[in-house]
Amino acid sequence: MGLTITEKILRDHCQNKKAVAGDFIMPKVDKCLANDITAPIAIEVFENVIEGSGVGVFDPSKIILIPDHFTPNKDVASAIQCKILRDFSSKYNIINYFEVGRGGIEHCLVPEQGLVKPGEVFIGADSHTCTYGALGAFSIGVGSTDLGVAMALGKCWLKIPESIKFVYSGRLNKWVSGKDLILYTIGKIGVDGATYKAMEFAGDAIKVLPMADRFTMCNMAIEAGGKCGIIEPDEITKSYLDSFKNLNDGFYCSDKDAEYSDIIDFECANIEPQIALPHSPDNVKSISEVHNMKIELDQVVIGSCTNGRLVDLKNVAEILNNHKINKKLRCIIIPGTQNIYLKAMKSGYIESFINAGAIVSTPTCGPCLGGHMGVLAEGEKALSTTNRNFQGRMGHITSEIYLSSPIVAAASAIKGYITSPEYL
């Protein structure tokens, strides 16, 4: 029996050269990531583990710390949390600490900075660390204790997951993106449809899917309960990595006779733009149906680790072109990183956002988790390009979040209710 890409990567990172899905292993980790919410606890765990041993972090170049959730510091308490990261980084020479103004949202920033490579085992104390599976890395979210221990040992316990293969065939319809494919998938299998499993995305539609869309798809694997999302690296991966030194190898692929717990086929011709309705990412409907519901909005949020990349902003700028944001709502646009922000500025996107009447924020998670920069009041409705629409996540417990692609979000910001560019 052959092996999946996931089994191969993990086998090459542990001592058990016969390990297969279901086995518990303690693989070496190539990178460890944490943010301003998870790092303070991880750092406390780390200091506790090494106390009295005389050892330091396993490798300062493999630790990445990104304050992005409540930054720029939202209040005194969050300032204290961020200071813990800053102090730890200077104490242990962590070069990959990204200060406010030189960073951005972690899962946009890490690939942009060339900090993840195909074939790596990457762990992050953030559930959306699964994003980097788009580059063919085994990349998973873990907890703070896992991360604190990994910073000391350079290892992390895990069970090799079984894989589900999702095969997307045919061409994408107009206005359909990676976000719609993943929302459609979660709608079909449910929020626990892939619990404990690796979600391997394949098929001829994936073979031509741009990197940004691949990041979006893998980013939301956790929303189906998946341990990770993963895509075999190919020519598109290769050209994305070309601008970095030393990243363009470590390409693994699944054997033809690899064992999957399930293989699920989707025909792209059947997939329209998708919307997840409150309060769950699997409560998904097609845009034609939601358009008829005329769901009026108070806020539109475009950004996040799911959809805050340059091409997302480009798509939004093209749709907003010569239109105004609807008077009844506010539209908040958040570039994922400082680099994306700058490129969007040079390309004129930021100017068109401001001309249309949107606000542009500095890179931050902000409203995605109801932190700041756009928290919702009682009963308000928001359409967001983020990844979770749990009850109360963006603010008041009676507020509602709908999820969509940036294209749909931009068209809806113009119309004032949820719609697609087709109806503009």
Binding site for ligand SF4 (CB under 6 A): 69, 105-107, 126, 128, 304-305, 365, 368-369, 386-387
Note whether 30 and 250 are within 8 A (CB).
Answer: no
Note whether 373 and 361 are within 8 A (CB).
Answer: yes
75-83, 95-103, 249-257, 416-424 -> range binding other proteins (CB under 8 A) = 75-83
The partner in contact with residue 419, picked from other proteins, ligand SF4, none with C-beta cut-offs of 5 to 8 angstroms by kind, is: none
Residues sharing a CB contact under 8 Å with residue 221, sequence separation 6 or more, in sequence order: 130, 133, 182, 194, 199, 227, 228, 229
Taking CB under 8 A as the criterion, the residue among 87, 192, 262, 267 binding other proteins is 192
The partner in contact with residue 172, picked from other proteins, ligand SF4, none with C-beta cut-offs of 5 to 8 angstroms by kind, is: none
The CA-CA-CA angle for residues 377, 382, 386, to 5°, reads 120
Closest distance of CB 173 from ligand SF4, Å: 27
The answer to whether residue 55 forms part of the interface with other proteins (CB under 8 A) is yes
The answer to whether residue 391 forms part of the interface with other proteins (CB under 8 A) is yes
The partner in contact with residue 105, picked from other proteins, ligand SF4, none with C-beta cut-offs of 5 to 8 angstroms by kind, is: ligand SF4
Distance of alpha carbon 55 from alpha carbon 403, whole angstroms: 46
* 194 to 72, 215, 260, 281, 315: CA distances (angstroms): 35, 18, 12, 13, 31
Note whether 159 and 228 are within 8 A (CB).
Answer: no
Note whether 396 and 417 are within 8 A (CB).
Answer: no
The answer to whether residue 371 forms part of the interface with other proteins (CB under 8 A) is yes
What is the Rg, in whole angstroms, of the alpha carbon atoms belonging to the chain? 21
Q: Mark residues 260-299: x for contact with other proteins by CB under 8 A, - for none.
A: --------------------x-------------------
Closest distance of CB 250 from other proteins, Å: 25
The answer to whether residue 24 forms part of the interface with other proteins (CB under 8 A) is yes
Closest distance of CB 363 from other proteins, Å: 18
The partner in contact with residue 53, picked from ligand SF4, other proteins, none with C-beta cut-offs of 5 to 8 angstroms by kind, is: other proteins
Taking CB under 8 A as the criterion, the residue among 8, 165, 393, 415 binding other proteins is 393
Which CB sits closer to ligand SF4, 100 or 271? 100
The answer to whether residue 182 forms part of the interface with other proteins (CB under 8 A) is no
Give me the residues that bind other proteins (CB under 8 A), please: 24, 37-38, 40-41, 44-45, 48-51, 53, 55, 69-70, 74-75, 77-78, 81, 124-127, 129, 141-146, 148-149, 152-153, 157-158, 191-192, 195-196, 222, 225, 227, 280, 369-371, 388, 390-393, 397
